[in-house]
Structure 1
Amino acid sequence: MSKTIETSVVIIGGSIVGLATSAFLAYRKVPHILIEKHAGSAAHPRAIGFTTRTVELLRMLDADAQTQGTTFNRPPRRIQVESLAGKWEEEKHWGKKPHGPPSGVKGGSDPNSGVLSPVTGVALSQDKMEPIFRKRAVELGAEHYLGWKMTSCSQTHSGVEVTAMSKTNEEIKVQAKYLIAADGSASPLRESLNITRHGVGLMRSISSILFRCEGIRKYLEKGFSQFEIKRDGFEAFLVSYPDGRWALMTYKQDDARLSDTEQKDLIRQVTGENLLDSDIEIVAHGGWDLAAFISDQYQSGRIFLVGDAAHTLPPTRGGYGANTGIADGHDLAWKIASVLSGESDPYLLDTYEPERRPLALTRHNQVFARPDYKEYLKTSEWKLPEGTEVIDDSAMEFGQLYRSNAILGSEDLSLPEAQTPAEWAGQPGTRAAHFWIKQHEQRKSIMDLFYKHWVVLSQNRAWKDAEREAAEKCGITTSFVQIGADVVEEEEGNFERFYGVGKTGAVLVRPDGYIAWRCAEGPDNAGNVLAAALSKVAHAQRKKN
């Protein structure tokens, strides 16, 4: 006999993106259930390196990942070699120019540290990051059904119903308002909805061997952590993880079925070292497909795609895979919370796809505009848009532009896809820039004031009355922060510099920390002006004249 559970949201898939989405929903007190067919994280580390933006979101959750991983500020360095012990040839740069000193090295410094963000990225593998999100989600009230597999799914105009079964043949039926599909690149949910995908496509099949070998750690001393092995028609890829594990990737599917002895022989071949069997510990092995696809839809009725279900991207030194999916979940969570609270009309959810899909498409194209993967364009029907150039890493990380009906002021199609925060200077549709402030004698980032609800920022106290009036008219939870009074800039002028408003102007920041609207100088009827803007971007249910 099955048990029926009623909740607000059901998440299918409990890998990194599903877990992050669960944590973001729990942070906003949205009742939900996560269903994952596996009992825990996969043995393979998979993604390595979580970007500064992801760590900003962990900071929001009060889940400190930085203490558990080596911080990094630049993409990992890669070099082509015949073998580790053989000839080292040329460094393979991620961007248009060399990235300078080694990255991912403890104690490394970043000239932008504390300038673009209050945190830095972490060189932590996915199997280490997943428990952080899982633990925080459960602490905040999430229910996770691990070891349960979805067996059916249906939706109506008013909700969704999912049936799931455990490994011991117990069955549950989950009735929810919305479903979030975080079920991976193959996504049975996406396929059942007949959502198509486009992109460079399937690139090649990979066989992967995860191992430990203390005898080759010396090759990391020059600051390289990724090695392209090329010699005499043989190709492989070797990457190190901060905890001492290595992953050897080859391009023969049969290599995934090699015996331990054969795998160790292959490791000797790529390292060029005369290693004993006892020097090498095989941890795991398997196979996967290297591919690049963007789903043509991110939403079908009450079902939303996140992560690899929405966009499958190859591993990159820019962190475009898991990190992009984590941000999907963050964007969707606040919108679902606002709709379920009754503050926002369900049409707010229709802004998810217009914001997140173009961003993923830009990242897809950036992958193939860069040297690491450019060669795959030769065998694909996919063509980069004319004039595509490599975009600066800080612009990709902190300055991709949202265009949707939850933003006022980003409609101009001549605006670039991405710029640095300094170049944007408060452009609506971009992440609200970091700068340091003092509040009650405590040093904080201005970003620490966001993420709970809508925030109005201004140097002019008159906007306090406008904020109250707008909140009352729209039925939207807001707060007001006066720069120079409620908080003090550590460096005077940063608010005007980074947010592009004068002393009487104001900025409206969304619950996800993105700028929804700004007014360069204060109008006479500020309350009406702010209420009109808030009503539009929040899709307010209650609208009073």
Structure 2
Amino acid sequence: MTVKTSVLVVGGGLAGTSAALFLAWRGVDVTLVEKHPGSSPHPRAVGFNARVGELLRAVGLDEKLPPSRVGKGFGIRRVRVSSLVGERFEETFWSPPAQLSNIEYSPCKGVGVAQDRMEPLLRDEARRLGADIRMSTRMLEFSQDDDGVTAIVQGDGEPYEIRADYLVAADGHRSPIREALGITRTGRGYMHTSRSVLFRAPLEEYLKDGIGQFVVDGVGFLTTYGDGRWVLMLEDREYEETELREKIFQAIGRDDLDVEIITTGRWTISAGVADRFSSGRIFLAGDAAHTLPPSRGGFGANVGIEDAHNLAWKLAAVLKGESRPSLLDTYDAERRPVASLCHQQIFARNDGHNRDRTPEDAPLIDNNAMHYGQLYRSDAVLGAGPELPPAQLPEQWNGQPGTRAPHAWIEPGKSTLDLFQRGWVLVADHPQWEEAAQRAGVTYERIEQLDVFGLSEKGASLVRPDGYIAWRSVDLPDDPTDALAKAFRKSSAGTR
């Protein structure tokens, strides 16, 4: 038996499931295989940033998410303590406290959902949109040629073949696919190994001040998933259950509570970024592309989901014949520098990962700049030169091509961001641009908030299907139709 599909995704974690979701949402025939029957009972990531919230809002998933407390700083602030109920000492900041600002960067807030709760939401929505998701199915081998990728997989029965145009490798930080392709990694490498115990206890009263992470002197690191579950990270050795309970009570500072031990784990903490994010028709995403240790920037899971989003629209455009395959080269050009920047920022900050080596000597970049203001430089962007910094606040970019289109309210409940992500959009407020958009075959959106895009009243911005600005004309050129046509053809690798 041979199953034919446009895109095969290997790995059903956050990045892989997101890839299946975003591809299916764009009408791409996608099949996902995952060797496990479901999500890990020990959640890893908790808390997704507002940029991921924007991506989920675009596909209509935001309304299905449980209420979040992350928007109030919950789970991000960290303090050293004698115990959860005991004396509190200094707070360690992820980066220097930002200056107060009345600028609203997004219509979304962070998403406070643990990974083992988020993955099924993504899976169910991907299935609803038509993705073929096959759990308990392992890929045994793969090969690629000029026309596609062939994988041999096995579920409960005999092995069978899947033939795909492209393959997305989201098979984790050890990534057998990456290893088979001979793609090396650069970064800090192995750092340390930790043990963990996941437990449930009624401790909500100790979270009222918005602190959700606790470095407990003499015990370990204690944090919450915001749903009644907590995890205590300990040194790497074997523990009996009675000793685990003692450690939990010591970390809490009291032993009169009902504590349910759910499961335990052993975690290898390492850091590295793949030296290539693609090889032929195969693309790395998530931990397969970049292993980034847990941080308050949320750079592991969030960056992986954004990988999937960046890749999905490009695969969709090429598969539908709207763009040449060269558009896919921009995936590595855009996402690998982002991963490298996140790696740098993790080790430039006081976030608990510099105990083995000295901190990275690099300037700290504001959190909002990292979430909303990273710059893409590629052939799919016109006017993002090497002289520009890798990230800035949105108001500093002011609509710079290569950056995420800025948020502004058009009307109550409707953001400029709600205009994007389905296809190519021209933002302007002038009749000549409307005619130019019609001739180019892009959607025209007339808005009055041109100042946040850095445009005059006669200017225009061309926004890609992922909500990033591909090109802009600050004012009206002599021939707007020709200017837009050339910009669109070049940035989209267009076939028309």
Q: Structure 1 length normalisation: TM-score?
A: 0.87
Residue 177 of structure 2, aligned match among 189, 202, 205: 189
Residue 389 of structure 1, aligned match among 358, 363, 385: 363
1:261 aligned onto 2:242:
yes
Q: Per-residue deviation at 1:59?
A: 0.6
Amino acid at match of 1:535: R
The residue aligned with 1:431 is 404
In 2, distance between residues paired with 1:287 and 1:378?
22
In 2, distance between residues paired with 1:117 and 1:510?
18
1:415 aligned onto 2:402:
no
Amino acid at match of 2:70: F
> CA 1:67 to 1:99, structure 2 compared with 1: closer, same or farther past 3 Å?
farther
Structure 1: give runs of 5+ residues left out of the alignment: 101-109, 472-477, 485-493
CA contact (8 A) 1:93 1:99 kept: no
38-47 vs 346-355, which moves further: 38-47
> CA 1:443 to 1:219, structure 2 compared with 1: closer, same or farther past 3 Å?
closer
User: Counterpart of 2:217 in 1: which secondary structure?
Assistant: strand
Q: Per-residue deviation at 1:122?
A: 1.7
1:243-392 equivalent positions in 2, closer than 5 A: 243-252=227-236, 254-255=237-238, 258-275=239-256, 279-373=258-352, 375-376=354-355, 378=357, 384=360, 388-392=362-366
User: Counterpart of 2:231 in 1: which secondary structure?
Assistant: strand
Residue 470 of structure 1, aligned match among 428, 435, 440: 440
In 1, distance between residues paired with 2:413 and 2:88?
46
In 2, distance between residues paired with 1:111 and 1:422?
12
Amino acid at match of 1:42: S
CA contact (8 A) 2:450 2:457 kept: no
Residue 120 of structure 2, aligned match among 110, 127, 131: 131
CA contact (8 A) 1:65 1:132 kept: no
> CA 1:67 to 1:130, structure 2 compared with 1: closer, same or farther past 3 Å?
closer
1:173 aligned onto 2:161:
yes
User: Counterpart of 1:321 in 2: which secondary structure?
Assistant: helix
Q: Per-residue deviation at 1:470?
A: 2.5
Q: Per-residue deviation at 1:65?
A: 5.4
Q: Per-residue deviation at 1:66?
A: 7.1
In 2, distance between residues paired with 1:435 and 1:97?
25
Q: Per-residue deviation at 1:270?
A: 2.1
In 1, distance between residues paired with 2:413 and 2:93?
37
CA contact (8 A) 2:292 2:300 kept: yes
In 2, distance between residues paired with 1:436 and 1:479?
19
Amino acid at match of 1:362: L
1:518-537 equivalent positions in 2, closer than 5 A: 518-537=472-491
In 2, distance between residues paired with 1:524 and 1:345?
29
1:400 aligned onto 2:379:
no
Q: Per-residue deviation at 1:99?
A: 9.3
The residue aligned with 1:84 is 84
Structure 1 residue ranges (4+ consecutive) displaced by more than 4 angstroms after TM superposition: none
1:223 aligned onto 2:210:
yes
1:514 aligned onto 2:436:
no
Q: Per-residue deviation at 1:529?
A: 1.1
The residue aligned with 2:13 is 15
Amino acid at match of 1:395: A
User: Counterpart of 2:378 in 1: which secondary structure?
Assistant: coil
CA contact (8 A) 2:399 2:405 kept: yes
In 1, distance between residues paired with 2:375 and 2:145?
33
The residue aligned with 1:96 is 96
1:21-70 deviation per Cα after TM superposition (whole angstroms, max 9, x unaligned): 11000010000100000111111121010110101011111012575032
In 2, distance between residues paired with 1:11 and 1:200?
28
CA contact (8 A) 2:142 2:151 kept: yes
In 1, distance between residues paired with 2:201 and 2:438?
62
1:28-177 equivalent positions in 2, closer than 5 A: 28-64=26-62, 67-73=65-71, 74=73, 76-97=76-97, 112=103, 115-166=104-155, 168-177=156-165
CA contact (8 A) 2:191 2:356 kept: no
CA contact (8 A) 1:203 1:376 kept: no
Amino acid at match of 2:183: I
Amino acid at match of 1:532: K
Amino acid at match of 2:225: Y
1:455-502 deviation per Cα after TM superposition (whole angstroms, max 9, x unaligned): 01111111122122223xxxxxx1111224xxxxxxxxx322x11111
CA contact (8 A) 1:201 1:292 kept: yes
1:151-190 deviation per Cα after TM superposition (whole angstroms, max 9, x unaligned): 0111011100011111x33322100000000000010000
User: Counterpart of 2:299 in 1: which secondary structure?
Assistant: coil
> CA 1:98 to 1:398, structure 2 compared with 1: closer, same or farther past 3 Å?
closer
CA contact (8 A) 1:66 1:122 kept: no
> CA 1:374 to 1:128, structure 2 compared with 1: closer, same or farther past 3 Å?
closer
CA contact (8 A) 2:98 2:366 kept: no
User: Counterpart of 2:119 in 1: which secondary structure?
Assistant: helix
User: Counterpart of 1:518 in 2: which secondary structure?
Assistant: strand
1:116-143 deviation per Cα after TM superposition (whole angstroms, max 9, x unaligned): 1111112111111111111111111000
The residue aligned with 1:481 is 445
454-463 vs 398-407, which moves further: 454-463
In 1, distance between residues paired with 2:190 and 2:490?
41
1:64-90 deviation per Cα after TM superposition (whole angstroms, max 9, x unaligned): 257503232336111112222443221
Q: Per-residue deviation at 1:541?
A: 1.6
Q: Per-residue deviation at 1:505?
A: 1.1
CA contact (8 A) 2:9 2:31 kept: yes
CA contact (8 A) 1:367 1:373 kept: no
Percent pairwise identity: 45
38-47 vs 298-307, which moves further: 38-47
Q: Per-residue deviation at 1:532?
A: 0.8
